[in-house]
């Protein structure tokens, strides 16, 4: 069970994020689910903010990306009811708020990717892009959007 794996890692799902604009954070078409960009909000504590290479290390960014993965899972659970209904994590698109010349965006986004594989197993292996940018909403270090495939309902 996916949620048991999350608990076994000593982690917990935060409350699902509420969109702060004219968009939905969850769109389902058939068995495909598209999640808007999510931010690093721990279940306990404040939104993680900072710029990689300036006031945060690659390791700090990796941890922030892990929290983004938990937020993606929280939104998914809120909308589909059971994370065990995930057939496949199809794709992640990660954005990293970093200084000019920084080139380790994949190492940061690995925080989210590694979480997906740890909690979904082979179903968590996905396609991915990791892109650097000079700024992200609210000053966060990383934002990730995702595409999931769900099992066909009986």
Q: Which two tokens stand for residue 76?
A: 């998914």
How high does pLDDT run on average in the chain?
Answer: 96
In this prediction, residue 18 carries a pLDDT of 86
- The pLDDT profile of the chain, 154 residues, written as one tens digit per residue, is 999 999 999 999 999 988 888 999 999 999 999 999 999 999 998 999 999 999 999 999 999 999 999 999 999 999 999 999 999 999 999 999 999 999 999 999 999 999 999 999 999 999 999 999 999 999 999 999 999 999 987 6
pLDDT of residue 71: 97
Q: What is the pLDDT of residue 15?
A: 92
What is the full DSSP assignment across 26-77?
Answer: EEEETTEEEEEEE----SSSPPP---BTTTB-HHHHHHHHHHHHHHHHHHHH
The confidence score (pLDDT) of residue 45 equals 87
What is the arrangement of strands in the sheet containing 86-97, beginning at the earlier edge strand?
Answer: 26-29, 32-38, 142-150, 86-97, 127-133
Q: Which residue has the tokens 């059971």?
A: 82
Predicted pLDDT at 146: 98
Query: Each residue of 70-96: pLDDT tens digit?
Result: 999 999 999 999 999 999 999 999 999
Q: Which residue in the block uniquely carries the two structure tokens 């892990």?
A: 66
Predicted TM-score (pTM) of this structure = 0.96
């Amino acid at each position: 069970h996916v949620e048991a794996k999350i608990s076994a890692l000593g982690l917990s799902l935060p409350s699902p994020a509420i969109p702060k604009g004219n968009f939905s954070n969850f769109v389902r078409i058939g068995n495909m689910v598209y999640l808007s960009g999510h931010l690093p909000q721990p279940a306990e504590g404040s939104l993680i903010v900072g710029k990689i290479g300036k006031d945060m290390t690659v390791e700090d960014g990796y941890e922030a990306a892990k929290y983004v993965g938990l937020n993606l899972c929280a939104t998914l659970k809120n909308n589909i009811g059971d994370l065990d209904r995930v057939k496949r994590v199809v794709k992640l698109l990660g954005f990293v708020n970093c200084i000019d010349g920084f080139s380790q965006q994949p190492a940061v986004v690995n925080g989210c990717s590694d979480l997906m594989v740890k909690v979904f197993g082979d179903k968590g292996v996905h396609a991915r892009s990791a892109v650097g940018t000079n700024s992200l909403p609210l000053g966060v270090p990383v934002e990730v959007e995702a595409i999931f495939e769900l099992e066909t309902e009986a």
